[in-house]
Amino acid sequence: MSNKTNDKIAALVDYFTNAAAEDMPYVIAMFTGKRPKRPVSTALIKEWAIELSGVPAWLFGESYHSVGDLSETIALVLPPPIRVTDRKLHEWIKDLAALNGKDDAAKKEFILWAWDSLDTQQRFIFNKLISGNFRIGVSHKMLVNALAKQSGTESNKIMHSIMGKWKPEEITFDELIAGAHVNTDNSWPYPFCLAYALEVEPVSLGAEESWQAEWKWDGIRGQIVKRNGELFIWSRGEELVTDQFPELHFLKDELADGTVLDGEILSVKDGQVQAFSILQQRLNRKTINKSQLQDAPIGFYTYDLLEHATEDIRNKPLAERRTLLEDLMEKLVTKDIAILSPVVSFANWDELAEIRQGARDNNSEGLMLKKLDSLYHSGRKRGDWWKWKINPYTVDTVMIYAQKGSGRRANFFTDYTFAVRDGEKLITVAKAYSGLTDLEIKEVDRFVKKNAVEKFGPVRTVKPELVFEIAFEGIAESKRHKAGLALRFPRIARWRKDKKADEINTLDDLRQLLQSTLA
């Protein structure tokens, strides 16, 4: 079997070698999440697709459910094209941008004309262009590697270049590769150093005194860059999130030029780290209002110092970087917003294991173990840093709805909804579709087919009989869910064939858990 990543890189190299030069900056922009403004709403696109295809709305809905992607569903249900065009990608993108501000009739005319001019594959891409949402299996890293290979340029340089500020309509492909815009751009971050999960007892790591332990905070990993009077906040997803967190803007005045901090963006109130569910109110918002600022104030817990006095110090050992970080944090005038993430001191591994059990009390996910002589690596490297998370929460639930999967799995019931007991009633708390083996999926599928009570479109109500243990990472209040709460990252931990439906957890159990995280 060929290596799929290599195949993808080869395909990208091939593309960048042969594509129209004007298209390439747009492709890089799309692959790195630089989205143009959406010119037409999803609702309208869907309405027009239904109209043009002549398929009833409910059947379009069933098709969408089976395909799992709106752009693809539309591409597949539309009638075959009636003409051909050879417009280039950047021309389509400009056409779409030009739709902004036009009335719906003009937008519709253009979209229908385009659909009638494109084949299924092209339509799919066109629809994705409208949505601006390119979730494809090409990571930044993969794209960067392909560009590096194609252009014979160092990949670090390209990463800095494409992660900087640029607009596809203002830059040529060659300028982008050469990093012409980067010299005047102070924003470039370092790759984050990441840790693997510790799957063995820490005793196997050796002597306690060569390790530093810290809390593993449950927020958004962030990097704060201050250079030449400008401040930038990067998220782990390599997104610039500076504007989302005004609380941290004071660092522009208080950090020296040529400083880069690694840390965790958290909601911190009265010196207490808040649950992730609180922080969530502040994420991915274009504007932030006063009450959000008040309800979920932001803090930054610093882990590491990557650049100090304009010098890249990632190759100094952690112990040295930590000392420099402590000095630097000491000198900040504004206290309690950017906070040094404390070192957890411990005499031996057993003691640390005990401390770790209390992680939930301060809304952390467990501990980080870092070797005191470790360098700040680029990306994930085994051995120097470990995350030692506490076990996830679990709840015993009963399956009450099942839904068929997508595509090839469309013949199997693979998506399930789970409920806990609330007095005499069952109330849904989670939906999950992963965590079972193929064999178990088939077994559950047979159960569903035999025990379906009611049908709502693709959904079957089943006899509440199968008990599943659901693991989850957190719990939050939710007005959208009937239960009044929502589980974070729910997944099937185990099929509890040994348990009966009357042995499952209750809604009160979950409410108590929620209160304990908010207290």
Active centre residues (catalytic): 216
Say how many residues touch another protein, by CB under 8 A: 31
Those residues whose C-beta lies under 8 Å from the C-beta of residue 410, and which sit 6 or more positions away, are: 66, 404
Return d(Cα 69, Cα 173) in angstroms, integer.
31
Residues in 93-152 that interact with another protein by CB under 8 A: 137
Give the number of other Cβ atoms within 10 Å of residue 9's Cβ: 20
Nearer to another protein, 442 or 488 (CB): 442
Do the bridges between strand 211-217 and strand 196-197 make them parallel or antiparallel, or are there none, so unpaired? Answer: unpaired
Residue of 73, 187, 242, 403 interacting with another protein (CB under 8 A): 73
Asked if 77 touches another protein (CB under 8 A), the answer is yes
Give the number of other Cβ atoms within 10 Å of residue 320's Cβ: 14
Q: Which two tokens stand for residue 337?
A: 């917003």
Asked if 55 touches another protein (CB under 8 A), the answer is yes
Q: What is the DSSP string of 365-388?
A: EEEEEEETT----SEE-TTTEEEE
Residue of 286, 335, 382, 408 interacting with another protein (CB under 8 A): 408
Asked if 409 touches another protein (CB under 8 A), the answer is yes
Residue of 455, 479, 480, 502 interacting with another protein (CB under 8 A): 455
DSSP β-bridge partners for residue 367 = 215, 388
Asked if 434 touches another protein (CB under 8 A), the answer is no
Residues in 197-236 that interact with another protein by CB under 8 A: none
**Angle ∠(190,194,198) on CA atoms, nearest 5:** 170
Asked if 411 touches another protein (CB under 8 A), the answer is yes
Residue of 22, 47, 72, 169 interacting with another protein (CB under 8 A): 72
468 DSSP assignment: E
Asked if 11 touches another protein (CB under 8 A), the answer is no
CB of 385 to another protein, least distance (A): 31
Nearer to another protein, 137 or 423 (CB): 137
Return d(Cα 500, Cα 504) in angstroms, integer.
7
Total residue count of the chain as it appears in this document:
519
Asked if 461 touches another protein (CB under 8 A), the answer is no
Nearer to another protein, 1 or 43 (CB): 1
CB of 86 to another protein, least distance (A): 20
Binding segment (CB under 8 A) for another protein, from list 2-10, 171-179, 262-270, 503-511: 2-10
* 14: phi then psi, degrees, rounded to nearest 5: -60, -45
Those residues whose C-beta lies under 8 Å from the C-beta of residue 369, and which sit 6 or more positions away, are: 198, 202, 205, 211, 212, 213, 385, 386, 387, 388
- Which residues of the shown chain bind another protein in the complex (CB under 8 A)? 1-2, 4, 7, 53, 55-56, 58-60, 62-63, 66-69, 72-73, 76-77, 137, 406-411, 446, 449-450, 455
